[in-house]
Amino acid sequence: MMIGLCVGSFLNVVIWRVPRGQSVVRPGSRCVQCERMLTWRANIPVLSWVALRGRARCCGGPIPLRYPLVELACAALFGIVAWRCTPWTVPAYAAAAAGLLALAVIDIEHHRLLDRVLLPTAGLTILALGAEAAALGALAPLASALLGAGIGLAAIGAIHVAKPDGMGFGDVKLAALCGLVLGRQGAGYVGVGLFGAFVAGAVLGVGLLAAGAGRRTQLPFGPFLGASALGVALFGGPIVEALARLV
C-alpha cells in the first residue's frame, strides 16, 4: 500500500506538470499556488493533506482534493493488482494501472491524452511482460498482449477514421495500451474491455442528460477505456467465459 501511495504522489506531479510542458524531475516539489519549495513533511502522501487541512503551509492556498484522491486510488489499484495477479504479472499490471490513472485524470482535466505519459506507460508494461516471459520461458502471453494491442488500435482506429470529430487519435493510442493490458489473457478480453468502455460512457451520458446536463456536454473517453480495461483484466474472467459459451 505504501508503494501505491508513493507512486500516487509521483502521479500528481505528472498530472500537474506534463500538460504544462514541464519536467517531472526538476525542479523539486513546489507549492502549486506560490511555487515555493516544499519540505519533506508536506510531501507525505495523504497524511500531509489531512494534517494541513487542505491548505498549503507556505501561503495558505488550497491544495486540491485531487492530490489525496489520486494517492489513495493508486494505493487501492496496487492492492487489487497484488490480490488478483500472480507475482510475475504484478509489475506489468501495476505499471499499466498507474499510467492509466494518470491519463484518466489528465483527460478529465484537460481533454488530452499525452504521449509523454502514454508511451512510457506502454513501454514499461511491455518491458514487464517481457521480463515475465523471459523468467517463465513462455512467450505466448507476451505475443497475445501484443496482438491485443493491435486489435485495440485497429478497432478504435477504424472509428476514428470514420468519425474523427467523435474519437480523437489519442483515444486510438490509448486503446492500443488497453489492448496490451487485456490481450495478455486473450482476444476475448480485448473485445469485452473495449465494448465495456462504450457501455459505461453511454450509461453515464444518459445519467447526465437525465440530471439536466446539456446535449453538448463533452465526456472524455479515456477514463472509460482505462477503467473498463483494468476492470475486465482483473475481474472479467466470468463474463468473458460466459460470452464465449454463448458464441
Write out pLDDT tens, residues 79-96.
Answer: 999 999 999 999 999 999
pLDDT computed for residue 198 by the predictor: 94
Q: What would the pLDDT profile of 106-128 be if each residue is shown by its tens digit?
A: 999 999 999 999 999 999 999 99
Q: What would the pLDDT profile of 196-209 be if each residue is shown by its tens digit?
A: 999 998 898 888 77
For residue 211, pLDDT beyond 80: no
For residue 227, pLDDT beyond 70: yes
What is the pTM assigned to this prediction?
0.94
Domain boundaries, the chain: 1-21+30-84, 86-247
- Residues 133-153 have a mean pLDDT of 95
Confidence of residue 47 (pLDDT cuts 50, 70, 90): confident
pLDDT computed for residue 216 by the predictor: 65
For residue 167, pLDDT beyond 80: yes
Residues 6+ apart with CB under 8 A from 75: 1, 2, 4, 5, 8, 45
In the chain, where does DSSP find H-type helix? 2-17, 47-51, 66-84, 90-110, 115-136, 140-162, 169-183, 187-210, 222-235, 237-246
Confidence of residue 222 (pLDDT cuts 50, 70, 90): very high
pLDDT computed for residue 215 by the predictor: 63
